[in-house]
């Protein structure tokens, strides 16, 4: 009797661990977290904690088997043991919606369909197919919705025509959007931020919700602007694609955060219930936004933008939300299949795609180059032209930099200190908030905007120091002649020969030329080159082609107004890509005489 009474029953924590051993394997994620994967089930990792995690499953199963509720301390002890086991293992990548899988035959892209059975799409240079078992681990969140199966392969034209009918953009913009969607299925590269712009009622939000649901279906494809960086990190870490809706202004902290999320963001914070430990949240995301006007943008964010201008919808072409949703649901399988067809062809073409010059988003440019070779399009040319126009538009939101550009236009070349430059360019009577108040801030602003100035043919070089007792740093500003690129022609007709930009004289900010450090002088030579230096900002007007057969009728096409002419104040030729309140004067004179 006494011997039997000394035998203790297994504790609740021990029973819970044995129960977990029969059902799951614990793994260590590369993100520093522990996960569980069901044995013999789909390759979907779920956390040990959280409401739908292993802890809740063990509590439910324990009650089903023992008809009693396990204590909280027993659950905590069991989870701690399982976490310790996971720490002894090598970390594994736990992917969200998309993953890259390397095999002996090459790289494959794995797309999680988000279904309970764990099916996925495997795409490679030789084609794509749906399989029941994923070769990699995925995780899911409350923002992960199931993705309907794509349609049959091989009907690329039909799928693209269906997508064309859902987007009221011109043909060059549509082809850029297709390139963005194809690139969106490659998780290991930086992706440009797709900015859908246009007046209200042009269907921007509806269109981007459809585009997001093609790549990463979610119950909330459109999100509000985050209030701080922690809110952004929480939202962005829960889905592969993030679309910010109705963005009116982009604060500086969000501008920096978006740039980092494009290339790979990381947020370090103090870990909960610890004194000196930290938690790291690192991710790269596919980002889109809708806006009527985002206002002033930082130059580094502008270089990461891919703008699609949405056209006004006529009254007889407008449809109800239910009709648009029904059209999308019918067309989505064919569109996904077409995008997967293009993805496989791009994967096969990329190894032989080499570009002589690469823009800021180099990986995306290579994808456009491969897509052009496959489809016979000119999306890479359109992307570069759109980047130039974006740089020109950026000047309109930077009054001081724009005034400096007009000042250099008038002189062709100028050498002096930043304080002298600030004195030669008077501030408007109503000073903009971004107008620098001293030479230090002016120098910093010009350094940040140096890429924008270079894009319109104005270079900035260090020119030694002045010979007076102040020994001020001197700079040489020069307006270079740039040959205007030919207008992009529709692919159905013979395209015009494009003359490359002559930029051999362009020097980066801070490059030290040979100089004897002369004092500030005004040089009026090279004035004949000033007009062409600024006019390049609005080159390559995109001409739309006839759209493919679509679900919706062809929509109206209108372009933003362009102002050009000779300034009535200083006789300088100017050209702008959008309407302003001073259509007959250059930007510098407008700022000087504004009341």
Q: What residue spans define the domains of the chain? A: 11-87, 94-139, 156-388, 398-546
Provide the terminal-to-terminal Cα distance of the chain, rounded to the nearest Å.
103
**What percent of the chain clears pLDDT 90, i.e. is strictly above it?**
42
Highest-pLDDT range among 116-130, 263-277, 351-365: 116-130
Between the alpha carbon of residue 125 and those of residues 98, 99, 106, the distances in Å are 17, 15, 8
**Higher pLDDT among residues 336 and 271, named by residue:** 336
Distance in angstroms (rounded) separating the CA atoms of residues 198 and 307 = 10
Query: Which of the four pLDDT bands, split at 50, 70 and 90, describes residue 300?
Result: confident
Distance in angstroms (rounded) separating the CA atoms of residues 555 and 166 = 10
Distance in angstroms (rounded) separating the CA atoms of residues 543 and 54 = 56
Predicted TM-score (pTM) of this structure: 0.72
32 pLDDT exceeds 90?
no
Which ranges in 498-562 belong to alpha helices (H)?
Answer: 530-535
The average pLDDT across 80-101 equals: 92
Query: Which of the four pLDDT bands, split at 50, 70 and 90, describes residue 49?
Result: confident
Query: Which of the four pLDDT bands, split at 50, 70 and 90, describes residue 171?
Result: very high
Whether the CB-CB separation of 110 and 101 falls below 8 Å is answered with: yes
The average pLDDT across 369-381 equals: 94
Q: Which 3 state secondary structure label does DSSP give 223?
A: strand
59 pLDDT exceeds 80?
yes
**Higher pLDDT among residues 352 and 299, named by residue:** 352
Query: Which of the four pLDDT bands, split at 50, 70 and 90, describes residue 293?
Result: confident
pLDDT tens track for 535-556: 333 333 333 333 333 333 333 3
Domain 156-388 in CATH 1.10.287.90? The answer is: no
483 pLDDT exceeds 80?
no
Segment among 40-49, 309-318, 398-407, 498-507 with least mean pLDDT? 498-507
pLDDT tens track for 208-267: 999 999 999 999 999 988 888 888 888 888 899 999 998 888 888 888 888 888 887 666
Query: Which of the four pLDDT bands, split at 50, 70 and 90, describes residue 194?
Result: very high
pLDDT given for residue 493 in this prediction: 37
From the CB of residue 169, how many other CB atoms can be counted at a distance below 10 Å? 25
pLDDT tens track for 177-192: 999 999 999 999 999 9
Distance in angstroms (rounded) separating the CA atoms of residues 383 and 381 = 5
pLDDT given for residue 501 in this prediction: 35
pLDDT given for residue 574 in this prediction: 63
**Higher pLDDT among residues 575 and 12, named by residue:** 12
Query: How many alpha carbons lie under 13 Å from residue 480 in its C-beta half-sphere?
Result: 19
Distance in angstroms (rounded) separating the CA atoms of residues 212 and 208 = 6
Distance in angstroms (rounded) separating the CA atoms of residues 571 and 580 = 18
**Higher pLDDT among residues 470 and 46, named by residue:** 46
pLDDT given for residue 221 in this prediction: 93
Distance in angstroms (rounded) separating the CA atoms of residues 516 and 529 = 26
Residues 6+ apart with CB under 8 A from 90: 28
Tokens matching residue 84: 């310790």
């Amino acid at each position: 009797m006494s011997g039997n009474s000394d035998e203790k029953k297994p504790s609740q924590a021990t029973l819970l661990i044995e129960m977990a051993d029969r059902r799951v394997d614990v793994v260590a994620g590369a993100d520093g977290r522990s996960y569980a994967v069901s044995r013999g089930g789909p390759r979907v990792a779920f956390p040990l904690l959280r409401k739908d995690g292993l802890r809740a499953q063990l509590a439910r199963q324990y009650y089903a088997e023992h008809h009693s509720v396990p204590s909280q301390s027993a659950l905590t002890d069991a989870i701690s043991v399982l976490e310790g086991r996971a720490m002894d293992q090598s970390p594994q990548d736990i992917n969200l919606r998309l993953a890259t899988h390397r095999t002996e035959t090459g790289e494959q892209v794995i797309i999680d369909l988000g279904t309970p059975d764990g099916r996925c799409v495997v795409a490679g240079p030789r084609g794509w197919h749906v399989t029941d078992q994923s070769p990699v681990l995925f995780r899911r969140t409350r923002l992960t919705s199931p993705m309907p199966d794509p349609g049959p392969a091989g009907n690329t034209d039909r799928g693209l025509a269906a997508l064309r009918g859902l987007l009221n953009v011109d043909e060059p913009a549509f082809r850029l959007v297709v390139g963005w969607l194809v690139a969106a299925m490659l998780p290991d590269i930086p992706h440009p931020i797709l900015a859908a712009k246009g007046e209200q009622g042009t269907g921007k939000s509806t269109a981007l919700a459809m585009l997001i649901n093609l790549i990463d279906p979610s119950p909330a494809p459109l999100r509000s602007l985050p209030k701080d960086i922690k809110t952004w990190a929480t939202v962005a870490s829960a889905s592969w694609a993030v679309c910010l809706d109705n963005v009116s202004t982009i604060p500086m902290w969000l501008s920096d955060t978006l740039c980092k999320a494009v290339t790979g963001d990381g947020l370090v914070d103090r870990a909960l219930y610890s004194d000196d430990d930290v938690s790291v949240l690192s991710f790269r995301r596919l980002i889109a936004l809708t806006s009527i006007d985002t206002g002033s943008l930082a130059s580094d964010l502008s270089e990461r933008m891919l703008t699609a201008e949405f056209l006004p919808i006529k009254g007889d072409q407008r449809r109800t939300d239910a009709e648009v949703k029904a059209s999308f649901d019918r067309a989505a399988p064919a569109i996904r299949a077409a995008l997967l067809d293009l993805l496989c062809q791009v994967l096969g073409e990329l190894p032989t795609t080499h570009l002589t010059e690469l823009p800021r988003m180099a990986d995306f440019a290579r994808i456009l180059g491969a897509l052009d070779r496959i489809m016979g399009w000119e999306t890479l040319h359109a992307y570069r032209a759109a980047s130039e126009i974006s740089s020109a538009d950026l000047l309109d939101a930077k009054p001081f930099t724009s005034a400096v550009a007009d000042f250099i236009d008038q002189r062709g070349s100028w050498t002096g200190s930043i304080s002298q430059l600030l004195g030669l360019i008077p501030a408007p009577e109503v000073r903009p908030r971004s107008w620098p108040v001293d030479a230090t801030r002016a120098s910093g602003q010009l350094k940040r905007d140096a890429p924008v100035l270079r894009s319109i043919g104005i270079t900035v070089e260090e020119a030694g120091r002045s010979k007076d007792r102040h020994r001020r740093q001197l700079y040489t500003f020069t307006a270079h002649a740039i040959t205007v690129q030919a207008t992009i022609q529709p692919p159905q007709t013979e395209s015009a020969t494009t003359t490359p930009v002559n930029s051999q004289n362009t020097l980066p900010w801070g490059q030290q030329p040979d100089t004897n450090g002369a004092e500030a002088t005004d040089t009026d030579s090279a004035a004949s080159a000033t007009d062409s230096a600024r006019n390049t900002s609005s080159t390559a007007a995109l001409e739309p082609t006839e759209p493919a057969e679509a679900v919706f009728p062809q929509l109206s096409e209108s372009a933003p107004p362009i102002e050009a002419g000779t300034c009535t104040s200083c006789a300088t030729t100017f050209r702008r890509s959008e309407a302003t309140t001073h259509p007959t004067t250059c930007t510098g004179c407008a700022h000087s005489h504004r009341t």
